[in-house]
Chains A and B, each alone.
Chain A
Amino acid sequence: MAATLVRLSRGVSICRRSMSTFSGQDHVETTKGKRMNLFSAINQALHIALETDPRSYLFGEDVGFGGVFRCTTGLAERFGKQRVFNTPLCEQGIVGFGIGLAAMGNRAIAEIQFADYIFPAFDQIVNEAAKFRYRSGNQFNCGGLTIRSPYGAVGHGGHYHSQSPESFFCHVPGIKVVIPRSPLQAKGLLLASIRDPNPVVFFEPKWLYRQAVEEVPDHDYMLPLSEAEVIRQGSDITLVGWGAQLSVMEEACADAAKEGISCELIDLKTLIPWDKETVEASVRKTGRLLVSHEAPVTGGFGAEISAAIVERCFLRLEAPVARVCGLDTPFPLVYEPFYMPTKNKILEAIKSTINY
């Protein structure tokens, strides 16, 4: 469980973990790879997806020249403009088009330029993609659809380049919601999402696009969906998170350790359908739970985790479930450092949960 920490300019650390922490992926351990950042890992996954399935397509606003975050660099040149292309500036069109493409037996990989701009496509995702299989009695499905979108804070994004809208989509039976924490994870989870026979919303932590660097195996591999991972073992309290927030939580765990508190940290990876069992098993061991996410606390996915664990572990819990999350305000520009669920807010919450 050796985890090396890489110091980053943001002032947080991004975990670089040995391959052996990944559940059930024996081949990952043995293969060599290159050190790369998260957008390059995404690019590699997309390259493999397009290479291995001739019926796969990649499209979205400004995807043709490489995308505003460079995730699709070189792919139009490599696979041609028929398979990798710019779309008109219309999110409902992008997702609706993707549903139709997927319904005809293709893999449609749609990019929404920022998660903040996914809302014009909300109807297509919630009423169409999510219900396509169910409403037709499984005659039709759009399982080949994957919607990729960068989400989360970047330090200067203000209202519309910072939001974490994952919980809206976690309220929708019929789609999966996946969020990776690192380059290696991103590659394996994205390939699994693209090949999963259900529509998936895949949120990419844009703060980590350049910041997170780790060794990523060269070959084609998938990491399982709906399987959480214990990325740090401990006995006093369980912390659950996903995406970019995990690196902040990891730091809090390290600081808590200095004060003699042993934290177990879980990366949920797939938010729906989520791996309750792994979280439950951990909380049965530690007796305490803390959930942390950037999205506003009220109605965030932390609330669902909290409720589910209270249902399952009520008598084992030694303190109320703690939530350290974004505030119930729009994402603010100059007040961003106050809004964020920082390491020290988490550390304080760990301590007060322990001392409850």
Chain B
Amino acid sequence: MLHTRSTFTGFLLKTVGLLRNVGIPADRVVNHRPRASVCGSRSDRFDIFYDRISCLPVRFYSSIGAERHAAKTCDVDESRVLEFPGGTVTLTSEMNFMSESTVRIPCYQVLDDNGQPIARSFEQLSKELAVKMYSDMVTLQTMDTIFYEAQRQGRISFYLTSTGEEAITIGSAAALTNDDVIFPQYREPGVLIWRGFTLQEFANQCFGTEADYGKGRQMPIHYGTNKLNYFTVSSPIATQLPHAVGAAYSLKMDDKKACAVTYFGDGGTSEGDFHAALNFAAVMESPVIFICRNNGWAISTPTSEQFRSDGAVVRGIAYGIRSLRVDGNDALAVYHAVKAAREMCINEKRPILVEALTYRVGHHSTSDDSTKYRPSDEIEHWRMNRDPVTRFRKWIEINGWWSDVEEAELRSDVRKQLLDAIQVAEKAKKLPLANLFTDVYDELPSNLREQEESLRQALKKNPQDYPADIPI
């Protein structure tokens, strides 16, 4: 499914070629060591227009694909044009329906499944950065295993893992700064781990303790922390996307060297809010990065029943957003992609879309049994052959930065921290009852004061009806 080395380099050569055609100096767009490139043209004919009449909006990105082939066969008389809002449109006597794309957009990869670099050049990471990336992926993996188990034992009510998708959140978080504001879906605790959210803080939320920043009001995994610029998770799908666009606009107006970043799944791309957000971002020129985790499934719905486009990446392009597809199981590729995206986003004040191809190796959540609807060899294939954590480990081992001893130490250390965190959270108190009523508004209105009063009366009469672990 993912592209081989030769296809990949072929893609790069083609895009670089196109850049020359449109007269954008290569160093302006390939301005960072990893090879990011911008396909500045929709097809050959537009390249020519760009040169000749310079009237095509510069922000018209696309990639090469079926359209280009189509354009070549079509007989275009370049002198006949229609001046139309948005730019000049060439007139043609040929009725030429643009083909629904069958050629899939290539996928940017740096490390192959064995952790061997396939890109000829990419920015080398410092040992420190690479080891932190790896450690954080292992931490996420271990946290998932232990919290999942805690749910199975009935100690928490719900859980949901990132298994198989560790490289997306950790790789992208590593490329951002803490000033970049995050609007998560729900499968992105990796970003929080990267930013220093402690295992105790995760446990506090999942157990709804008095130390939970969300005050025990939401289900487990609905993390949020203003200290780390991570907006609180909300279960409704895709609602966070337009928020990210608005927040990004604010960052732009305040001249901040930061962007907004929002994550979502393949399923999320079907919601109206996805489309609203992409269109707003393009029109408002909001510095926002849309990161789609295309993991093949939305609960039991495969992507073939979710959309018939070539994933999310082509929809970014359709809305006028510079877009890239990346191997989501390659932490290094995700890191480079998001680093480049961030630079363009902030320096050029524009949205970027990154579609990461990956696989949801775990069940949707603890409420789901995915063997009911997908073959177990599919899961096994991704778990065994394409695991992002293993791949990254191989690469740091090749670099001589990691050993079996360090591996064993890390895993047992994280495990121990987690068990401690769970113990603390299990013993911790819940917040007092008053917190049921606060924060509905900034101040308690009279209806809630009344309701609190009558609830306290009810409590006195029938204390046995109410959980004992909530201080009155």
Residues of A within 8 A of B (CB): 61-62, 64-66, 68, 85-93, 116-117, 119-120, 156-161, 297-298, 327-330, 332-335, 337-339, 342-345, 348
- Residue in A85, A93, A159, A332 whose CB lies within 8 Å of B235: A159
| 5 CB < 8 A contacts A-B | A85-B305, A88-B307, A328-B451, A329-B440, A344-B462
Closest 7 CB pairs of A and B: A160-B235, A88-B270, A334-B216, A158-B219, A156-B157, A89-B267, A335-B436
Tell whether, in the assembled complex, residue A344 and residue B465 are in contact, meaning their CB atoms are under 8 Å apart: yes
Check if B318 is an interface residue, CB within 8 A of chain A.
no
Q: A88-B270, A339-B436 are in contact. Are A156 and B307 (CB under 8 A)?
A: no
Q: A89-B306, A339-B436 are in contact. Are A333 and B455 (CB under 8 A)?
A: no
Q: A120-B271, A329-B448, A334-B470 are in contact. Are A159 and B218 (CB under 8 A)?
A: yes
Residue of A nearest to B457 (CB): A348
Tell whether, in the assembled complex, residue B267 and residue A338 are in contact, meaning their CB atoms are under 8 Å apart: no
**A89-B267, A90-B272, A330-B217 given; 19 more Cβ-contact pairs under 8 Å:** A61-B299, A62-B301, A65-B373, A66-B372, A86-B301, A89-B298, A92-B272, A157-B219, A158-B219, A159-B219, A329-B437, A329-B440, A333-B216, A333-B217, A335-B217, A338-B459, A338-B470, A342-B462, A344-B458
Check if B184 is an interface residue, CB within 8 A of chain A.
no
| Cα of A119 to Cα of B272 in the assembled complex, Å | 12
Taking the closest CB of chain B, its distance from the CB of A87, in whole angstroms, is: 8
Residues of B within 8 A of A333 (CB): 157, 208, 216-219
Tell whether, in the assembled complex, residue A160 and residue B299 are in contact, meaning their CB atoms are under 8 Å apart: no
Residues of B within 8 A of A (CB): 157-158, 208, 216-219, 222, 234-237, 267-268, 270-273, 298-301, 305-307, 367-368, 372-373, 430-431, 433, 435-437, 440, 447-448, 451, 455, 458-459, 461-462, 465-467, 470
Main secondary structure of the interface of A (DSSP, over half): loop
Residue of A nearest to B304 (CB): A86
| Cα of A278 to Cα of B271 in the assembled complex, Å | 42
Residue of A nearest to B438 (CB): A329
Taking the closest CB of chain B, its distance from the CB of A156, in whole angstroms, is: 4
Residue of A nearest to B454 (CB): A345
| Cα of A328 to Cα of B451 in the assembled complex, Å | 8
- Residue in A117, A157, A345 whose CB lies within 8 Å of B458: A345
Tell whether, in the assembled complex, residue A338 and residue B448 are in contact, meaning their CB atoms are under 8 Å apart: no
Taking the closest CB of chain B, its distance from the CB of A115, in whole angstroms, is: 12
Taking the closest CB of chain B, its distance from the CB of A327, in whole angstroms, is: 5
Residues of B within 8 A of A348 (CB): 458, 461
| Cα of A348 to Cα of B459 in the assembled complex, Å | 11
Residues of A within 8 A of B447 (CB): 298, 328
Tell whether, in the assembled complex, residue B305 and residue A86 are in contact, meaning their CB atoms are under 8 Å apart: yes
Residue of B nearest to A331 (CB): B217
- Residue in B158, B234, B437 whose CB lies within 8 Å of A156: B158
Tell whether, in the assembled complex, residue A89 and residue B237 are in contact, meaning their CB atoms are under 8 Å apart: yes
| Cα of A209 to Cα of B268 in the assembled complex, Å | 27
Tell whether, in the assembled complex, residue A335 and residue B433 are in contact, meaning their CB atoms are under 8 Å apart: yes
Residues of A within 8 A of B218 (CB): 158-159, 333
Residues of A within 8 A of B270 (CB): 88-90, 93
Tell whether, in the assembled complex, residue B466 and residue A338 are in contact, meaning their CB atoms are under 8 Å apart: yes
Residues of B within 8 A of A345 (CB): 458
| Cα of A344 to Cα of B372 in the assembled complex, Å | 42
| Cα of A61 to Cα of B459 in the assembled complex, Å | 41
Tell whether, in the assembled complex, residue B440 and residue A161 are in contact, meaning their CB atoms are under 8 Å apart: no
| Cα of A329 to Cα of B470 in the assembled complex, Å | 18
- Residue in B208, B234, B298 whose CB lies within 8 Å of A160: B234
Residues of A within 8 A of B372 (CB): 65-66
Residues of B within 8 A of A119 (CB): 236
| Cα of A116 to Cα of B270 in the assembled complex, Å | 18
| Cα of A61 to Cα of B265 in the assembled complex, Å | 15
Residues of B within 8 A of A330 (CB): 217, 440
Q: A89-B267, A161-B219 are in contact. Are A64 and B300 (CB under 8 A)?
A: yes
Taking the closest CB of chain A, its distance from the CB of B268, in whole angstroms, is: 7
| Cα of A66 to Cα of B373 in the assembled complex, Å | 10
| Cα of A120 to Cα of B273 in the assembled complex, Å | 9
Residue of B nearest to A93 (CB): B270
Residues of B within 8 A of A92 (CB): 272
- Residue in A68, A86, A93, A329 whose CB lies within 8 Å of B367: A68
Tell whether, in the assembled complex, residue A327 and residue B299 are in contact, meaning their CB atoms are under 8 Å apart: no
Residues of A within 8 A of B436 (CB): 327, 329, 332, 335, 338-339
Q: A64-B300, A344-B465 are in contact. Are A334 and B219 (CB under 8 A)?
A: no
| Cα of A342 to Cα of B465 in the assembled complex, Å | 8
| Cα of A159 to Cα of B236 in the assembled complex, Å | 10
Residue of B nearest to A156 (CB): B157
Residue of A nearest to B301 (CB): A86
Taking the closest CB of chain B, its distance from the CB of A163, in whole angstroms, is: 11
Choose among B236, B268, B459, B461 the residue with the greatest number of A CB atoms under 10 Å from its CB.
B236
Choose among B235, B373, B433 the residue with the greatest number of A CB atoms under 10 Å from its CB.
B235
- Residue in B157, B300, B373, B455 whose CB lies within 8 Å of A327: B455
Residues of B within 8 A of A64 (CB): 300-301, 305
Tell whether, in the assembled complex, residue B301 and residue A61 are in contact, meaning their CB atoms are under 8 Å apart: yes
| Cα of A108 to Cα of B463 in the assembled complex, Å | 48
| Cα of A88 to Cα of B462 in the assembled complex, Å | 47
Choose among A64, A157, A332 the residue with the greatest number of B CB atoms under 10 Å from its CB.
A332
Residues of A within 8 A of B459 (CB): 338
Taking the closest CB of chain B, its distance from the CB of A158, in whole angstroms, is: 4
